[in-house]
């Protein structure tokens, strides 16, 4: 395997809180999958969980070198937790097809957060 790309993103939790307050379901449905929403809504500080997932999607899109758009859409990436608690990203739709075309074999993410910020990084590995 060889390194294809890396990405990082930091999100202000207040920005996500404001978007949820102002746009509600429209914002949540545009950005997050049903499973992500179910997870976040169960958390004590749901905005923090949403912010971490938002950052992860941005970091993955940066690692692909595309940003969010034609090749990789918001809901084409889904952040889930493994049984171990490790976060992982599942690619769907356009992102899954794009990764397959590129020979991507693995996408790794790491999430972190504090009271006011959430951050994520992503590493994409390609078959050699």
Segment 14-41 shows an average pLDDT of: 97
Segment 7-34 shows an average pLDDT of: 97
- What pLDDT is attached to residue 70? 86
Judged against a pLDDT cut of 90, whether residue 44 lies above it is answered with yes
- Residue positions annotated with a catalytic role: 62, 113
| Structure confidence at residue 51 as a pLDDT band (50, 70, 90) | very high
HSE-up of 70 (CA within 13 Å, CB side)? 2
| Contacting residues for 32 by C-beta, under 8 A, at least 6 apart | 40, 50, 53, 74, 75
Segment 61-82 shows an average pLDDT of: 95
| Structure confidence at residue 72 as a pLDDT band (50, 70, 90) | very high
Judged against a pLDDT cut of 90, whether residue 127 lies above it is answered with no
Residue pair 50/32 in contact (Cβ under 8 Å)? The answer is yes
Residue pair 102/4 in contact (Cβ under 8 Å)? The answer is yes
Size of the chain in residues: 128
Judged against a pLDDT cut of 90, whether residue 103 lies above it is answered with yes
């Amino acid at each position: 395997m060889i390194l294809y790309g890396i990405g990082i993103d930091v999100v202000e939790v207040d920005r996500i809180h404001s978007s949820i307050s102002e746009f509600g379901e429209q914002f949540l449905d545009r950005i997050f999958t049903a499973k992500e929403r179910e997870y976040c809504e169960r958390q004590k500080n749901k905005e923090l969980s949403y912010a971490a997932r938002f950052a992860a999607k941005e970091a993955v899109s940066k690692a692909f070198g595309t940003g969010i758009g034609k090749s990789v859409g918001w809901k084409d990436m889904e952040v889930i937790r493994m049984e171990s608690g490790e976060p992982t990203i599942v690619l769907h739709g356009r992102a899954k097809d794009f990764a397959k075309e590129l020979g991507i074999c693995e996408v790794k993410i790491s999430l972190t957060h504090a009271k006011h910020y959430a951050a994520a990084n992503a590493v994409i590995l390609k078959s050699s």
